[in-house]
Amino acid sequence: METKKTFSVVEFADDNSVEIVPTTWLEETNKGTICFWTFLNTRQLVRNKALPDKQKWRQLSLKKIWLQTDSYTKALQKCQLVAETSNIETEDTTHKKRAHKKPWRYQSETEISSEDESRVIKKKKVSKPVPPKYNQEKPSSPDLFSEASLPQFSLQNVSPPQQAVSNLLREPESSSDEATKNYRTKVLQKLQELCENQQDILAMQRKILAAVAVPGVGAEEEVLENGPCQTIEQIKQLDKSFDTPEKRTKMVNYLRSIGGSNPGAAVRKMLRKVATNEVLGAFSLRGKKSKLAFQDLRICSIIIGATQKNFKSLKSVEVEDLISLALKFAPHRN
């Protein structure tokens, strides 16, 4: 039984180009021999004798199979020889150099479409604009730079701010009534658009303020009567006071109202409202390195809940990391 050779030197029917392909890329059909082809990393795939993707690759018809061999070097030599012979036979008698063009199978669909568009654009004839005609006669208007044409200004001619709109609507006396009417109409339309835009902005601002408004937040003294805790005992007493859901909800709403440009800044502001940096320095999130565990306090879950309500996409684990980082650097802050 005769085995198939590894490489084949083939000539394509579309552009008469000669290439080296693995024999596994060839397939016999009713219309003749076809070759599966791709324009992505073709040379590397040929050297590696990769199997073709018959569902995604193109199917190109062949004109002739010149050689089948197991040696890539022999296939390359045969390919060069056939290509040179083909160039000599197809050379024009005028000895003009043939324009070399990239085979279409190496081009992507975007390159083919852009090339077609460039051909269409080249065929369009662009008409040159007609130069304007100028009147050679001199205008009969007075000299604009003469002293008589310059307006005389004085402090008495300065109008108060209330007359700014009326001065804006004034037109020169030489203009027609129709032009004056159109000018005033356009100005009034612009003023009306500005008023409507201002009303829309105010309405949008009211909606935003209503959306971010936090209900149930009283004064700071009602939530933290003595301000930030100065000792560890005070923060423990404060934590014990959050024994009911109403008190915890009130604290969450208060901490939400503090705000912050980003989650890290918001967490640091909340911690500074709860205790001083000296007290926070005695805690770590999980109580490592002989420090107290901040996660055992109710205030920790309250801060996590307040942060997640202000920043919806944050997870509780991410907020815990921010709290741990803030507690780590709390002793170094003033």
For 273-290, the pLDDT digits (tens) are: 999 999 999 999 998 888
Query: Quick one: which of 58, 62, 65, 82 has its CA closest to 13?
Result: 62
pLDDT class for 260, splitting at 50, 70, 90?
A: confident
Alpha helices by DSSP H, 70-163: 72-89, 109-123
CA atoms within 13 A on the CB side of 11: 15
Q: Which amino acid is at 266?
A: A
Q: What is the DSSP string of 234-253?
A: HHHHHHHT--SHHHHHHHHH
Residue 275 main-chain phi, psi, to 5 deg: -155, 165
For residue range 43-78, what is the model confidence (pLDDT) as tens digits? 888 888 889 888 888 888 888 888 888 888 888 888
Strand partners, 293: 284
* Cβ-contact 229, 279 below 8 angstroms: yes
Q: What percent of the chain has pLDDT over 70?
A: 66
* Cβ-contact 42, 62 below 8 angstroms: no
d(CA 145, CA 220) in angstroms, rounded, equals 70
Residue 146, token pair as written in the block: 């003469």
pLDDT class for 134, splitting at 50, 70, 90?
A: low
Which architecture does CATH list for 220-332? Orthogonal Bundle (1.10)
Q: Order across the sheet with 18-22: list the strands.
A: 18-22, 7-12, 58-69, 32-37, 26-29
State the pLDDT at residue 300. Answer: 94
State the pLDDT at residue 267. Answer: 92
Domain ranges of the chain: 7-88, 220-332
For residue range 77-91, what is the model confidence (pLDDT) as tens digits? 888 888 887 654 444
pTM, full prediction: 0.37
d(CA 25, CA 49) in angstroms, rounded, equals 9
3-state secondary structure of 276: coil
3-state secondary structure of 26: strand
Strand partners, 65: 10
State the pLDDT at residue 159. Answer: 47
Residue 271, token pair as written in the block: 């911690």
Q: What is the DSSP string of 179-244?
A: HHHHHHHHHHHHHHHHHHHHHHHHHHHHHHHHHH--TT---HHHH-TT-SB-SHHHHHHHHHT--S
3-state secondary structure of 151: coil
3-state secondary structure of 289: coil
pLDDT class for 323, splitting at 50, 70, 90?
A: very high
Per-residue DSSP letter, 296 = G
d(CA 307, CA 313) in angstroms, rounded, equals 10
Query: Quick one: which of 262, 261, 238, 260 has its CA closest to 250?
Result: 238
